[in-house]
Amino acid sequence: MPWSETTPMKERVRFIADFEGGLFTLSELCQRYGISRKTGYKWIERFEAEGPKGLTDRSRAPHTCPHLTDSEVVGLLIDARLAHPRWGARKLIPWLAKRHARRVAWPSPSTGADILKRFGLVENRRRKRRLNSLSKERTEPLLPNQLWSADFKGQFRTRDSRYCYPLTVADGFSRFLLGCRALSSTQSQPTRRSFENLFREYGLPEAIRSDNGVPFAASTAIGRLSRLSVWWIRLGIRPELIKPSHPEQNGSHERMHKTLKAETTRPPAGNRSAQQKKFDSFRREYNHERPHESLAQETPASLYEPSPRPFPNRLPQPEYPGHFEVRRVSRNGGIRWKTRWVNISHSLLEEYVGLEEVDDGVWSLYFGPVLLGRFHERTLTLEGARLD
């Protein structure tokens, strides 16, 4: 004979039938069916109120949810996302909270992200492995203007088919985007003019970090010094180069470039002047409105303040101790050493370098406070200092 099959519904019907038959007490019935007296009373009450329909399973969802996000808040979050399609919940919620003075129960970032995902406003993305910095001697800024970062975001064509080279400069501590200029090339002179405008407006930083590309560095020059970095040194600014092929050492700047590219170059403007307006608009929002997770959701403008070091009216010459031998680099890039000629670098044309004897016939070569290498007077050879 086949096994008899049963379901919770059949068991409840049998329970009610046995109860109405009067052969068993409620305690005996509950023990017979393996349920508690409380459960037995529940099914009896439901049957008396609704008949057999009352014995079916009901939804276990709560009638009310005290932490359910208010529909008005959901609407504000969706509107904010549509206005800023590249901001996530971690930025949108603090941004909204600052703009609504009345008390509102804002959701957590994870709940906000779930809301955006539910309405199809967030794409599922695969997490990328984070790269760790390989540099052992990087400046970690603790105050504004201790370190600026600079770079050229990859060139692109505006709609008039002309190339645009965006020069970006940011403060390492506050993430404040000091400048984003649409230049026509990466040549040294227009780049220098852009930096001079920034120095006049914000003062001088202690150091500037950049990659090894033009015009920040010269790969074939001693110390990788370029004409631009020579100018920085004379202003009392220390050039800080990342290791070649390691953009992660300037990671926060590279991350800013990703946002800049997405919001200002897709699509590009009609010409470079119009593109500059897009950069200026982005910069205002990035500095004054957009919360930054690395800043505890504060804005860069709330943490940045100009440097107390003003841009000088006259470019100072580098100073050397009295025991140094000081030589002026000629227009062909070399110095006179006794009766011989020593090639130094074309980046240092008409600049003064200092030499300090550290051993018999061995001299350390400096430009200002920067050690460039070792000069061996017996062989008239110059050995560049290690930079990695």
Cβ–Cβ under 8 Å, residues 89 and 116: yes
CA distance 333 to 198: 30
* DSSP secondary structure string for all residues of 277-313: HHHHHHHHHHHHT--BGGGTTB-HHHH----SSPPPS
| All residues at 6 or more sequence positions from 223 whose CB lies less than 8 Å from its CB, including other chains | 345, 367, 370, 371, 372, 373, 384, 385, 387
- Identify the CA nearest to 325 among candidates 278, 375, 291: 375
CA distance 117 to 124: 8
Extract the tokens encoding 163: 């190339």
Cross-strand pairs, 370? 367
pTM: 0.71
CA distance 312 to 314: 5
Average pLDDT, the chain: 87
Extract the tokens encoding 229: 């970095």
Q: Which residues of the chain carry a pLDDT beneath 50?
A: 1-4, 64-65, 127-136
Distance from chain centroid for Cα 185? 26
- Identify the CA nearest to 384 among candidates 187, 217, 216: 217
CA distance 237 to 196: 13
Q: Are strands 207-210 and 148-152 parallel, antiparallel or unpaired?
A: parallel
Cross-strand pairs, 359? 362
pLDDT score recorded for residue 131: 31
